[in-house]
A and B are shown apart, each in its own frame.
Chain A
Amino acid sequence: MKVALVGNPNTGKSSLFNILTGLNQKIGNFPGVTVDKKSGFCKLADNQVVSIIDLPGCYSLYPKTQDEAIVSDILSDKKNEFHPDLVIVVVDVTNLKRNLLLYSQVADLGIPLILALNMNDLAEKEQIAVDADKLSELLGVQVIKISARNNEHIEDLKKAISNAPSFAIHSSAYSIPQSSQNLVDKISHEFDYDNEYASLLLAHQYSAAKHLSKNETDKLDSFIEEQQFHSADQQVEETIWRYTYIDKLIKECVQIAPKPIEPSLTDKIDDVLTHKFWGFAIFFLILLVIFQSVFSWAEYPMALIENLFSWIDEVGHQYLPAGVFADLLLNGILAGLGGVIVFVPQIAILFAFIAILEDTGYMARITFLMDKLMRKVGLSGKSVVPMIGGLACAVPSIMATRNIENWKDRIITIMVTPLISCAARLPVYILLISLVVPDDKVWGFFDLRGLTLLALYILGTVGAVFVAWIMKRLIKGKEASYFIMELPIYRKPRWKNVFLTMFDKVMTFIFEVGKIIIAISIVLWVAASYGPPSRMDSITAKYESPELIDSHSAAELERMESSERLENSYVGILGKTIEPVIRPLGFDWKIGIALITSVAAREVFVGTMATIYSVEGSDDDTANIREIMAAAKDPQTGAKVYTTATAFSLMVFYAFAMQCLSTIAVVKRETNGWKWPAIQFGYMTVMAYLASLIVYQLLR
């Protein structure tokens, strides 16, 4: 049996999903679109296993966003592969009236239903008494009171799922108005729909529906014109009718104890968190705490991981027979793998914070605080959440721009989100900062390195704001922008949810990003170990000549030879080709190699450096990449490669450049074409080059 969870946002639908499925869940995308699809399995008391799908939160079946359109499509189209056999409509009892609107629409689609009255704990506290038996009798469906957050009465719900097939389908509440009846009949006949309300929904939203052919859309166009169907008018009329119906239900089944009007806890918290001064002060303090934590808490597990990989490398060199295989394994794969795993602690911490902000309800307040400011630069308050998400990764954030209804706001947000420093830049920043910024304290508390990192994040954000401000003037808008958003009550974060989000993001990073990094590490190892045979042969011959052997020690000779080999390898040739272009930025050909490989993903920089320098060979195999880079010297002049000027120029380059294939791919998908990703790649590359040029020329 296929069971779907449907409900408004902030009703505890995802808590319920987590309880029903546990770790037995899978997160993916709906086919063709990048809307999260969460599915899993749940075992009922009678050992029956049902599949559960968590549909995106929505307020009605008239979709305003792509997320909502998915719900509408799945529920109204019986041929849809996700069309459920049973729907559990999850409602927030403390906000029953608004929540029942969606319920009544879903009920009219004729799918077997269970109504789950969630947040029962809160309702009791607020003395809202719902007569579930009466409601069940009036609606003709099973009504179950649960409290997903406290894991209460979940067994009752599971029992209801087992019983569901024996219940009759709820009879239709809303009758199609006379004026639309002809249209509905035509659609029902043409598309073979056996539910009238499904036909009506199709008339409202067919232009956004994915499953229709051009021919079918044209047919609907002509039906609608012929019948003079006015979608918005009809929606207004229907919505008012439904609320009248809901009011009657509530009058009969719900009793709310009269309570003295006093400010709720949420009101009191909001007085502080949306205060003129404290609101912003606390917001920036929270951001600062996040950066400090990502930087300093993560240090211990990171050091552990670094040591572990050094140890494996050492053991490997000791026990594996020397040769191509050991070389590939240790200098290619292991070096790349270490470069991925080491950043897991930071990603985990950052996502834990983002999950907590979402879960407590504070994220909505950030939007509330920032909307006016964001609108000045051409963004919407809704852009703040994707942009904060951009701190972790632009890819999910660009997908998250889907709830910005306005096309122009959305395009601008997509265009500038990759300028926000993402987690993939962190490895690069941290490595370079630790190379050139001393480990000192400012005012005895703030870490100088942490402040440098914060400055880089601010730089990215200022860059994003600047570009948005320009684009606001260049891009022509098509439609009006809405900002109608619920401010949910504050709740304690659900730690299980926080943990699952963290776990999921870390896994995505390791598997999605990690596989690119490891693949590139291997390609790079090959390209760095091999070169045109003629050049390689002449190097071999050169180092066999007696004059050289006599005048140098064996260790010195070995280092010179491997360095020369790298310079003449395929990757060295490529790096040298672009060297004249990047020299004014303070970069040598080795950095050039890293810039090329980073186009796949920014964090590849670290892996590339590890591979390049370990291929070159150092005296001490256990030294980590940081020490090796700090010791790196220009072979001609003997000057340090990573001076302050070069390191800062490089950091600024990484702050602005579009070095991420995944982002390019997701922008193409989200904007439906190559135009916007091309513009984005172009402007970001130019911006990065100019900014680095200025930084290097000023600092050197």
Chain B
Amino acid sequence: MKLSDLKIGQHGIIKEFTDLALSVKLMEMGCLPGESVCLERIAPLGDPIAIKVSGYQLSLRKEEASKVILHI
């Protein structure tokens, strides 16, 4: 399942990325394979989303989140 499919409060573990360039940026920000993520909130207009990862809140667009594959 994709990160963009999580519901608020739901957890997942990052498995892999489908976009190489994006994955470099995401990893720098602490989104590594094996890392646990939780969907914290969705912006009022439905996009972007905010996730909890390695102890802080990170916001990204749904389209970017759709390139992150989770184990679930």
Contact = CB atoms under 8 A, between A and B. Distances in A.
Contact of A236 (B27, B41, B45, B58): B27
Interface string A469-503: 00000000000101111111100000000000000
B37 to A, nearest CB: 13
B24 to A, nearest CB: 5
- Chain A's interface size range is 35 or more
A276 B47 contact: no
B65 to A, nearest CB: 10
A483 B43 contact: no
Given A239-B27, A486-B29, A368 B59 contact: yes
Contacts of B55: 94-95, 97
A408 to B, nearest CB: 15
B50 interface: yes
Interface stretch (A12-20, A58-66, A616-624): A58-66
A373 B45 CA distance: 8
B45 to A, nearest CB: 4
Contact of A381 (B27, B40, B48, B57): B48
Contacts of A233: 20
A521 to B, nearest CB: 47
Interface string A248-286: 000000000000000000110011001110011000000
Given A232-B24, A482-B22, A487-B50, A368 B58 contact: no
B32 A487 contact: no
B28 A266 contact: no
Interface residues of B, number: 31
Interface in B8-44: 20-30, 32-33, 40-41, 43-44
B64 A483 contact: yes
B28 A101 contact: yes
Given A95-B54, A98-B56, A243-B32, A484 B26 contact: yes
A483 B61 CA distance: 6
B60 A484 contact: yes
A222 interface: no
A240 interface: yes
Interface in A366-380: 367-369, 371-373
B43 A372 contact: yes
A64 B57 contact: no
A372 B23 contact: no
A227 interface: no
A364 B57 CA distance: 11
A235 interface: yes
Contacts of A368: 43, 48, 50, 59
B61 A371 contact: yes
A239 B22 contact: no
Given A232-B20, A483-B61, A484-B26, A274 B54 contact: no
B58 A486 contact: yes
A97 B61 contact: no
A371 B62 CA distance: 11
A9 to B, nearest CB: 11
Contacts of A64: 25
Nearest to B53: A98
A235 B58 contact: no
Contacts of A280: 44
Nearest to B61: A483
A403 B29 CA distance: 16
A487 B25 contact: no
Identify the interface centre among B24, B25, B28, B29: most chain A CB within 10 Å of its CB.
Answer: B28
A270 B44 CA distance: 12
A239 B24 CA distance: 8
A157 B46 CA distance: 45
A260 B26 CA distance: 28
Contacts of A95: 54-56
Contacts of B57: 266, 270, 486-487, 489
Given A482-B22, A487-B59, A371 B48 contact: yes
Nearest to A270: B41
Contacts of B46: 372
Contact of B58 (A62, A270, A482, A487): A487
Nearest to B31: A484
Contact of A483 (B23, B24, B27, B48): B48
A259 B32 CA distance: 24
Contacts of B48: 368, 371-372, 381, 483
B58 A485 contact: yes
B54 A369 contact: no
Contacts of A484: 25-26, 29, 58-60, 64
Contacts of B24: 62, 232, 235-236, 239
A239 B29 CA distance: 10
Nearest to B23: A236
8 contacts: A64-B25, A236-B27, A240-B27, A367-B59, A369-B44, A485-B58, A486-B29, A487-B56
Interface of B: 20-30, 32-33, 40-41, 43-48, 50, 54-61, 64
